[in-house]
Structure formats: structure tokens, C-alpha cells
A = this chain, B = another copy of it.
């Protein structure tokens, strides 16, 4: 494919507006940092945020989005159900979805998973080591066997998610927890990747290794030109060939 994958980077973008400490970490917003990383990997990138009309996710925008990345935390409940259903339908049609960090309890991820997606957490400037479990998986291209993050929020098991189709990463936290931090799913024709790191107070999305993982996930999740599948009442095979 010569055409660039079209990515829409969605962000709630509230911490950055309300808290100067967060704004200092992400002056262009978390979406700005994620988008910058993706541009550097050759994708065609737009951003969209909660406070835009339709949260920036109109029918037209989604129709031209191959892969959507999603970051949210303090305002999940403000995302309209209509937009959630619209994104859900697009994922089932084939749009890829990269769910980042605290978006584990976003409406769209819970809608797709069917579970609460709740977990343990702790903000303690803890160091995280993300271990690669599937070294041959395309999401691990160009990454070392682990990624050390000097400061991150802790997320711990048990996390109430369906078992991933492929578990790509497991995180270790200094305080004693582990976490399934890279999880691949398919729903309908869409591919979904949950990637754990990215608390708003740490500069995680500026790191080249984290950006590389997100770029790899975008490539993995991009839609393919698959078959049209018939649904509903169908006739038997017209002529059984023989």
C-alpha cells in the first residue's frame, strides 16, 4: 500500500487545561505529543478532542480514519453515547482502535470488552518495566526486550478484561504488582490494542520507544480490504458443484 494510514488521535484534553503542572508536561496536549510521534513514523495524522463539536468525531471524520487512538481519564462520562456508538460501529467495520492508559475505563473500551475493565492503581512515581512476551509480534518491531519507564502510575492485576487474543507485554512494578500491559483483540473486522503507559503527569509519550510501539500498533490495527460478509436470511448454495 502506498497510501499513508490515516490516524485520528483523540484526547479528552482536560488535565492540560485545568492543571498547570500537566500543561507544563504536555504544552501541546497529550494528543499533540502522540500525534507528533505518529507523524514521525509516516502516518497522516489528525487530532480530535472532547470539547470540539461531536468531540471532533463526526461521521465524516471517522469515515476517513483508518486507526483511532484514544486517551481519556477524568471526563469519560462526558463522552456522548451517540459518539460512542458511532465509534463502536466503525471499529466493527474495520477501523483500528488504540486504547491508551486510563482509557481502560473509557466508554468505548468497556463497550467493546463487555466487562468493567477495572483494576488496581497507585500514583507513587514508581518505576515500570514492560517485558515483551511475544518477540515475533509486529507490535514489538524495533523494541528492546523490555522498556524501562523511570516514573509511571502503577496498574495492577486483576484487571477485569477478557483474556486478550494475543498478550504482547506484561509490566512489572517496583511496589509488587504485574499487569497485562499490551493486549490485542479483534471485534468484528476491527483490531484493538490496549497499551498501558501514559499517566498525564509523566512525559511518557515523548519517548521514542513508546512512540515506536504506538506506531507499530497503528500498522497492525490498520484495516484490510477484507470480504463483504452477508448477514440475515440466505438461500442454500445454488448449485453444489459436481
The segment from A33-41, A70-78, A229-237 that touches chain B is: A229-237
In the complex, which residues of chain B have a beta carbon less than 8 angstroms from the beta carbon of A170?
Answer: 157, 170, 178, 180
Q: Does A86 contact B (CB under 8 A)?
A: no
Contact between B241 and A127, CB atoms less than 8 A apart: yes
Give the contacting residue for A158; candidates B118, B145, B180; CB below 8 A.
B145
Given A136-B224, A145-B227, residue A234 in contact with residue B122 (CB < 8 A)? yes
Q: Does A6 contact B (CB under 8 A)?
A: no
Measured in the bound complex, the distance between the Cα atoms of B180 and A167 in whole Å is 11
Contact between A136 and B191, CB atoms less than 8 A apart: yes
Q: Does A182 contact B (CB under 8 A)?
A: no
Contact between B142 and A225, CB atoms less than 8 A apart: yes
Task: Give how many A residues have a beta carbon under 8 Å from the other chain's beta carbons.
Answer: 80
Q: Does A10 contact B (CB under 8 A)?
A: no
The segment from A24-32, A51-59, A148-156, A200-208 that touches chain B is: A148-156
In the complex, which residues of chain B have a beta carbon less than 8 angstroms from the beta carbon of A187?
Answer: 114-115, 162
The 9 closest A-B pairs by CB, nearest first: A175-B236, A136-B189, A176-B237, A158-B229, A145-B227, A150-B241, A135-B226, A114-B114, A112-B114
Question: Residues of A at under 8 Å CB distance from B?
Answer: 92, 94, 111-116, 118-122, 124-127, 129, 131-138, 140-145, 148, 150-151, 154, 156-158, 160, 162-163, 165-167, 170-178, 180, 185-191, 223-237, 240-242
- 9 A-B pairs with CB atoms under 8 Å apart are A92-B115, A121-B232, A129-B237, A144-B227, A148-B241, A162-B186, A170-B178, A170-B180, A178-B178
User: Other CB < 8 Å A-B pairs besides A114-B114, A114-B187, A120-B234, 8 of them?
Assistant: A92-B160, A118-B232, A127-B241, A141-B225, A145-B227, A172-B172, A176-B237, A176-B240
